[in-house]
Structure 1
Amino acid sequence: MDIHALKRQGMTISEIARRTNHDRKTIRAYLNGERVPGVRKRATPDGFDRFVEYVTARLVEDPHLWVVTLWDELRPLGFDGSYQTLTRQIRDRQLRPVCAACAHVTERPNAVIEHPPGEETQFDWLELPDPPAHWGFPTKKAFLLVGSLAHSGVWRAVLSPSMDLPHLLAAMTTVLGLLGGLTRDWRFDRMRTVLDPATDDLTPMFAAFAKHHAVTVLACRPRSGNRKGVVEKNNHTAAQRWWRTVPDELTAEQAQAAVEAFAKGQDQRRREDLEGTTTAAAMFAAERLRPLPVTVFPVVVTEERTATRQSLIDWRGNRYSVPPELAAAKVVVHQRLGADTIDIATLGGAVVARHRVAEPGLGVTIRDTGHVTALETVAMASAPPGRPHRRKERIPPGPAARRAAQVLTGTQQPSTVISLAAYEQAAKNRNTLR
């Protein structure tokens, strides 16, 4: 302030430097705005400068991107700073734009609920928009069933193309196997596949499923979904840190493996208990989970597929044959949970094929010998006669084409008409007896 005030009084830079006891270059830099009071010039180059463009682009694309997710992306790119360094750089440089659509959203208070070990497993569906088209899901959404142990916070998840009751039971069976056991209670929100909205009773099939596993089913009260806050927080983590970064080229089976690996990596996150700071994996040891039933609950998963022209359908990352009459037609695939075979039926319900299932995601093709023979017969019968033309075969213009070209160019030669009357008369004279 003194430097600018003296400058306004008409003093020269040299006079201001003598009066303030500073170098003339320093005075000139402050007057020209090249230096700011309280901000010292770095002695070494800022290593974050080369990441500014990427961070800015990502935050413009997604204003709600978690910093820890951005940190996960930057580490393979060469960023060796800590999470705290990244947050400070984003804050100091004001790289995160303000989202006008979410600026007025407020947060409601949440109560703290105690969860003893082995007491409760919380389940919830997470809707995932815009899955890759090659996954073959029937809608423009994928669904992730997340199961979380309320005490330790350890969670596992399963991708599903639908939220109907058979897919829910199949996904729950897989999640329970990934968690490694059963708690005393299962907690859900008021989803229709679990709770009948008219009577508030469990649906018959889900009640049988819970009885098969010997657990108690708890439903949240209306408008009290935060009672299952553990699974909701894990849903948020899965959506922000995993789903947002899933590449388009992954298959559904590869995406399932990726979410399983991501959930296992979350077991090492820090947690607080009565003894201080620990990890979710350490708290998991105290869960005391009960073993799963020896037999699998008998539920049949049904999905619709469209056969290819080669009479094949896709199922869990592999391909299975159908009769050639169903090529390019819609069929229905049935698989009983725990069974090693699938049934393929027409839309009318007639079972036309049964195959032993391969390990999901192997990319193998399983054909029935009868289907192969029938497909070859149909293909050969519908093939056109003669040899098909080769792409590089030489076929010059023929006589008909040349005559047509002569007519078009006016170079057609006049045809010569020969009279055979003279030859006929000569032949008659030769045959006459003299």
Structure 2
Amino acid sequence: MEIHALAARGWSVSAISRHTGRDRKTVRAYLAPERPARVPAPSCLEPYLAYIAARFEADRHLEATVLHRELVDAGFGRAYTTLVGELRRLQLRPVCLVCAHRRGDQVTTEIDHPAGEEIQWDWLELSAADTPWGEPADVLVGALSQSGRFRGVFCEQMTFGHLAGAMHEILVALGGTPRVWRTDRMATVVSPLTGRITSEAAALAKHYGVTVAVCPARRAQRKGVVEAAIKYLTRSWWRTAPIATIGDAQRSLDAWSTRVADTRKRPLGTVGEIGAGEPLRALPTLAYPAQIVVERKVSRAALASFEGNHYSVPPAHAGKPVTVIAQVSGPVLRIVGAHGEIVAEHRRVPAGAGQTVRSSEHAALLETAVLAAFTTKDACRRKPNLPPSDRALAELARLRGVEPEGARVISLADYATLAEAAAR
């Protein structure tokens, strides 16, 4: 309003600019006649807007890299940077109010990690509500500090046996072990009472010939490589993985780690190429013989579940609690009863195979038990005519407050008394 008023008095553009403190181009833009609004060019995401809206409605934190892979499979031919620019320009991603109130960034620094020097370990905890199979699960993630190459293994629990077995599988997938293992203060490695490394963890480190480095308390940034790997794994794979069982999840994670995670670009090559070039130490011939001990309840079919498979027990233990004991990478597992007796011993099948292992002896016992319980003698009839009994009718009449027919008994003496009275 002031610019237009000064221009009406005859002031020049330069004078108005000096007086208002605005640039001369700004003054000319205000004084120029109104121009038609600029019509933005159509977005390259127009054919995919409905799909993008549906994906963001289900998950507002969906990674743009995941969305780009899905759109490319659907025929989208533009680059990832174009997708990100259009998402920002069109404001397609919903705002998360929880993330908008996060605290400010903290000061950090980069730590130099020599090649083949260190691997970092941490757990990704998944509750029963987070898994499609409705049971909690834990994923041990091991990430090489220098290259960032990582692998993960699903475990039913976070016991020491599960930890030792998952560590061996990850090291085999990475092709060796670094000199230092860095962990946080997890209870299976550091005693909560003394703050020192447990004897089992020390024996495990001695078996692989490594040194265990424990992060200081409340210093998660010290193992930032594996923290970033877990964050990337959760957002890029877990949120969109089409899985139904824990075995499906492990197979999908292994394939995704090789196909997607290892192909991330770095200045010196891909993550997989850099990680494969790290000088790792050779692994022992056998894994550390840690014991995996889990409690199970036998099903009505006389089966105990373990690692996504089912193993038979005698039918006398159906519905009772048992303990499944197996060694890491061991070929045999034992099932122990409530009183410590060994009730079954089976050949161990690969985890997540979904197989049922039943010995011929247990099958015969189960068949005998089922046939013994099945009989046609005194079978319960399903279609007889059974009206209410006299006792039931009498009880119903009592409840209704009426006297049932035939319930009152009249004595013959009453009839004799009436007859005598009539005669008189």
- Given the two structures, how large is their TM-score scaled by the length of structure 2? 0.77
Whether 1:278 and 2:269 are equivalent positions in the alignment is: yes
CA contact (8 A) 2:161 2:328 kept: no
Query: Residue type of the partner of 1:259?
Result: L
- CA distance in structure 1 between the partners assigned to 2:225 and 2:255 by the alignment: 19
Query: Residue type of the partner of 2:81?
Result: Q
Deviations 1:169-210 (A, max 9, x none): 121111111111011100011222211233332111001100
What is the match of residue 69 of structure 1? Answer: 66
What is the match of residue 164 of structure 1? Answer: 159
Q: Give matches, 1:185-200, under 5 Å.
A: 185-200=180-195
Deviations 1:286-338 (A, max 9, x none): 31111101122111101122222211222223321110011232222111112
- CA distance in structure 1 between the partners assigned to 2:379 and 2:244 by the alignment: 38
Larger CA deviation: 223-232 vs 210-219:
223-232
What is the match of residue 78 of structure 1? Answer: 75
- CA distance in structure 2 between the partners assigned to 1:390 and 1:180 by the alignment: 67
Q: Give matches, 1:375-394, under 5 Å.
A: 375-386=366-377
SS at match of 2:334: strand
Equivalent of 1:253, from 233, 238, 247? Answer: 247
Q: Give matches, 1:348-427, under 5 Å.
A: 348-386=339-377
Query: Residue type of the partner of 2:176?
Result: G
What is the match of residue 39 of structure 1? Answer: 39
Offset at 1:238?
Answer: 0.8
1:325–1:200 CA distance, 2 compared to 1 (3 A): same
SS at match of 2:277: coil
SS at match of 1:123: strand
What is the match of residue 177 of structure 1? Answer: 172
SS at match of 1:334: strand
Deviations 1:133-180 (A, max 9, x none): 646x4xxx3211110111111101001111122211121111111111
What is the match of residue 148 of structure 1? Answer: 143
What is the match of residue 89 of structure 1? Answer: 86
CA contact (8 A) 2:132 2:244 kept: no
Whether 1:110 and 2:108 are equivalent positions in the alignment is: yes
- CA distance in structure 2 between the partners assigned to 1:348 and 1:87 by the alignment: 62
- CA distance in structure 2 between the partners assigned to 1:90 and 1:373 by the alignment: 64
CA contact (8 A) 1:182 1:290 kept: yes
What is the match of residue 217 of structure 2? Answer: 222
1:389–1:92 CA distance, 2 compared to 1 (3 A): farther
CA contact (8 A) 2:299 2:319 kept: yes
SS at match of 1:218: strand
- CA distance in structure 1 between the partners assigned to 2:326 and 2:337 by the alignment: 15
Consecutive unaligned residues in structure 2, runs of 5 or more: 1-32, 388-424
- CA distance in structure 2 between the partners assigned to 1:246 and 1:303 by the alignment: 27
Equivalent of 1:122, from 103, 114, 120? Answer: 120
Structure 1 segments (4+ residues) deviating >4 Å: 386-391
Offset at 1:113?
Answer: 0.7
Offset at 1:357?
Answer: 1.5
- CA distance in structure 1 between the partners assigned to 2:132 and 2:47 by the alignment: 35
- CA distance in structure 1 between the partners assigned to 2:117 and 2:279 by the alignment: 9
SS at match of 1:295: coil
SS at match of 1:363: coil
- CA distance in structure 2 between the partners assigned to 1:380 and 1:118 by the alignment: 62
RMSD: 2.6
CA contact (8 A) 1:128 1:243 kept: no
Query: Residue type of the partner of 2:88?
Result: R
What is the match of residue 98 of structure 1? Answer: 95
Q: Give matches, 1:271-350, under 5 Å.
A: 271-272=266-267, 277-350=268-341
Consecutive unaligned residues in structure 1, runs of 5 or more: 1-29, 402-434
SS at match of 2:330: coil
- CA distance in structure 2 between the partners assigned to 1:165 and 1:362 by the alignment: 23
- CA distance in structure 1 between the partners assigned to 2:284 and 2:296 by the alignment: 32
Identity across matched positions, percent = 38
Offset at 1:78?
Answer: 3.1
What is the match of residue 50 of structure 1? Answer: 47
Query: Residue type of the partner of 1:358?
Result: V
Query: Residue type of the partner of 1:93?
Result: L
CA contact (8 A) 1:310 1:327 kept: yes
CA contact (8 A) 1:128 1:143 kept: yes
Query: Residue type of the partner of 1:306?
Result: K
What is the match of residue 391 of structure 2? Answer: none
Offset at 1:243?
Answer: 1.1
What is the match of residue 237 of structure 1? Answer: 232
Offset at 1:47?
Answer: 4.5
1:150–1:93 CA distance, 2 compared to 1 (3 A): same
CA contact (8 A) 2:133 2:244 kept: no
Offset at 1:107?
Answer: 2.1
- CA distance in structure 1 between the partners assigned to 2:312 and 2:334 by the alignment: 11
1:232–1:294 CA distance, 2 compared to 1 (3 A): same
Offset at 1:379?
Answer: 1.1
Deviations 1:70-118 (A, max 9, x none): 2233333333332112212211111112111121212212211111111
CA contact (8 A) 2:333 2:348 kept: yes
1:322–1:226 CA distance, 2 compared to 1 (3 A): same
CA contact (8 A) 2:165 2:287 kept: no
Query: Residue type of the partner of 2:337?
Result: T
